[in-house]
């Protein structure tokens, strides 16, 4: 079983979480983190959308994730995600996923200017996590995520994409 599959399946449930930072650090899966992303965006920007899918797929180096305009999918690049999960703490992994999902969720809401989205992500993350948290360092580009992993990315034959089950289903009353 790959590291991503373990993360998709989740870990032990954490009880007694008191803050957003704790919620992210102790999140058990992608959906748990994404619920927090949506909460932050709705609280601060007053906008939201439902029904997004999360796909884990092999993409070219340098692309951490993407949202194709007009689609209902966010795609995380497995070629960056797997090495990140393999060598980082749970806090670092969850912070990375939070920042990437926040960035792509903003694109899915129609914010298309890359510079503006990066500025907004950095601002929101710093406001919620503080200036010294790993999530803020990721959002600020201090850790040079992507660049540090490009040299180790295996570019062999792409593997089949993985659809993360039960992602963003909290507002779905039926399957369309």
| Residue 142 neighbours by CB distance under 10 Å | 10
- Global pTM reads 0.83
In whole angstroms, what is the distance from residue 31 CA to residue 25 CA?
13
Residue 96 in domain: yes
Query: What's the pLDDT tens digit per position in 22-77?
Result: 999 999 999 999 999 999 999 999 999 999 999 999 998 889 999 999 999 999 99
Compute the distance between CA of residue 39 and CA of residue 64 in angstroms, rounded to an integer. 23
Q: Is the pLDDT of residue 171 over 90?
A: no
**174 domain-assigned:** no
Q: How many domains does the chain have?
A: 1
Classify 41 as helix, strand or coil: helix
Which residues constitute the domain of residue 16?
3-163
| 139, part of any domain | yes
Is residue 176 in some structural domain?
Answer: no
What gap in Å lies between CA 41 and CA 23, rounded to an integer?
A: 15
């Amino acid at each position: 079983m790959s590291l991503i599959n373990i993360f998709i399946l989740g870990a032990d449930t954490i009880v007694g979480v008191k803050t957003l930072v704790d919620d992210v650090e102790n999140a058990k899966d992608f959906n748990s983190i994404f619920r927090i992303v949506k909460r932050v965006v709705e609280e601060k920007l007053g906008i939201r959308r439902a029904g997004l899918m999360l796909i884990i797929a092999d993409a070219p180096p340098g692309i951490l994730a993407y949202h194709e305009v007009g689609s209902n999918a966010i795609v995380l690049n497995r070629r960056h995600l797997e090495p990140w999960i393999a060598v980082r703490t749970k806090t670092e992994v969850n912070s990375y996923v939070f920042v990437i999902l926040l960035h792509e969720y903003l694109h899915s809401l129609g914010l298309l200017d890359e510079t503006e989205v990066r500025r907004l992500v950095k601002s929101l993350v710093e406001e919620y996590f503080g200036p010294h948290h790993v999530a803020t360092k990721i959002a600020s580009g201090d850790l040079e995520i992507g660049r540090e992993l490009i040299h180790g990315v295996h570019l062999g034959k792409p593997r089949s994409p993985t659809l993360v089950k039960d992602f963003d289903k909290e507002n779905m009353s039926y399957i369309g």
